Amino acid sequence: MWNPERCDLCGECLESCLYLGYDLERAKKEMQLLISGEHSEVLDRCITCSACNTYCYKGARPFDLIVHRMDEEGSQFKKGSATALLEVFCFNLARNFVRKTKKDAPWMSICCMEYFQPHLFWDSKLFEGLNIAGGGDYFCVNGMIHGRQDTAVFENMQGYIDQLNKLPTDEIILFHDECYAPFFSYAKDMKLETNFKPIHLLEWLIEVVKDNYKDVKKLGVRCAISLPCSVRASGPDRHIWIEELFDLLGVELVERKYDRKNQICCGAVAGLGGGASEDLAENQRFSQEIREKNVNDAKNFGADHMMFLCPFCYAALAYDNKAAGIMPVMAADLVRMSLYGEKPTEYVTALEKGWIV
Ligand code: SF4
Ligand code: SF4
């Protein structure tokens, strides 16, 4: 939630944005407009990557202000394709289900991710024996920020937590990073109570690998990471878990230019109208520019794999990665490959679906 008392209008958040291209004076001016409730160009051009929340080390959370102002101005209706896609995908296409195995087995919520990889959760040894809940009933709603609105997130967050609270467990593993992030932002701001501890997928994967360490086959690959916007929204630094997991699996983490604080977007939301222009062709061109920067950077620093925590990011970048000779993998794939000799998952790609061109 936006913390105005922590903002001294220094402008560093918008000056650091990789997409706006503002100098410090322009950044201060646009910040003033946002705070005073006047129209700012930021509301038209921001691609909702959330990074400015991390650029502000004073904890003011400027992206939370931006998305709130977008919602107030109704920009989600002008550029609603991301909203429409999320609603269709999460509430119409992804089926609801609860798979129970053993009473004491761990519980995982996979949100709508079965739609991206229908067989993964049923065929891989990694997920054998897990209790799994999935579908629109378990949609974290956090993604609606890419639909340029925060009202929908606040309105639906209680329902999301209620669904998870009904599961008979005191710990729930969240497959999608975006489902984990709200416990440190929106749900926390709303003081919603949970009767379980949220467990990040990476925490669980580390435990699985440690428990089965005798079966680990070191992968010996050079892996870049392309993390989702939700890691900038809130919660613990995911790099600590990634470094531990990579060490266990014999994966070399490729440090590169567009990484960590300088992390670049996957381009998915930009392509869906999340900024730049009302013109779809211009948005697609902008998305392609972002994707090329991301993949070329990984290639230049010698990566042969790129790991994702979000299936949307995978969908956006998989085709470009493969064209550049880089194997796209989800975090769970690295564990499947190492422990069970399974192949990386072929997820649905945004290109196949026509979301990007
Ligand atoms: S939100 Fe933070 S970084 Fe941005 S102007 Fe305010 S204090 Fe500076
Ligand atoms: S959310 Fe991302 S694109 Fe939007 S202003 Fe912040 S850093 Fe820039």
Distant-in-sequence, close-in-space partners of 78: CB < 8 Å, separation ≥ 6: 278
Same domain, 35 and 90: no
pLDDT computed for residue 116 by the predictor: 76
Q: Which atom of ligand 2 is nearest to the CA of 53?
A: 6
CA of 217 to the centre of ligand 2 (A): 40
- 62 Cβ inside 6 Å of ligand 1: yes
pLDDT computed for residue 250 by the predictor: 98
Same domain, 91 and 152: yes
Residue nearest to atom 6 of ligand 2 (CA): 52
pLDDT computed for residue 172 by the predictor: 97
Same domain, 200 and 226: no
Same domain, 245 and 343: yes
- 28 Cβ inside 6 Å of ligand 1: no
pLDDT computed for residue 38 by the predictor: 95
pLDDT computed for residue 96 by the predictor: 84
Same domain, 342 and 229: yes
The CB density around residue 251, as the number of other CB atoms within 10 Å, is 23
Same domain, 184 and 113: yes
- 17 Cβ inside 6 Å of ligand 1: no
Same domain, 284 and 335: yes
Q: Which atom of ligand 1 is nearest to the CA of 12?
A: 3
Ligand positioned closest to the Cα atom of 9:
1
- 140 Cβ inside 6 Å of ligand 2: no
Q: Which two tokens stand for residue 330?
A: 């989800």
**Could you tell me the CA-to-CA distances from 108 to 20, 131, 168, 178, 270 in Å, in that order?**
38, 6, 12, 14, 30
Same domain, 32 and 119: no
CA 71 to CA 334: how far, in whole Å?
39
Same domain, 23 and 99: no
Among the three residues 73, 92, 127, which one is the final residue of a domain in this structure? 73
The CB density around residue 77, as the number of other CB atoms within 10 Å, is 11
- 54 Cβ inside 6 Å of ligand 2: no
CA of 75 to the centre of ligand 2 (A): 15
Structural domain count of the chain: 3
Q: pTM (2 decimals)?
A: 0.91
Domain span at residue 293 reads 212-353
Q: Which two tokens stand for residue 235?
A: 């919660």
Same domain, 337 and 236: yes
- 286 Cβ inside 6 Å of ligand 2: no
Residue 304's CATH number: 3.40.50.1860
pLDDT computed for residue 76 by the predictor: 61
Q: List per-residue pLDDT tens for the chain, 357 residues long.
A: 899 999 999 999 999 999 999 999 999 999 999 999 999 999 988 989 999 999 999 999 999 999 999 999 886 655 555 566 566 666 666 778 898 888 889 999 998 888 777 778 888 999 998 999 998 888 887 888 888 888 888 888 999 999 999 999 999 999 999 999 999 988 888 999 999 999 999 999 999 999 999 999 999 999 999 999 989 867 889 999 999 999 999 999 999 999 988 999 998 877 766 655 667 788 888 889 999 999 999 999 999 999 999 988 998 899 899 999 999 999 999 999 999 999 988 766 555 555 544
Among the three residues 204, 228, 260, which one is the final residue of a domain in this structure? 204
Among the three residues 73, 97, 117, which one is the final residue of a domain in this structure? 73
Ligand positioned closest to the Cα atom of 52:
2
Q: Which atom of ligand 1 is nearest to the CA of 61?
A: 1
Residue 176's CATH number: 3.40.50
Which residues does residue 305 pair with via DSSP β-bridges, in sequence order?
223, 327
Same domain, 306 and 342: yes
- 8 Cβ inside 6 Å of ligand 1: yes
Same domain, 114 and 186: yes
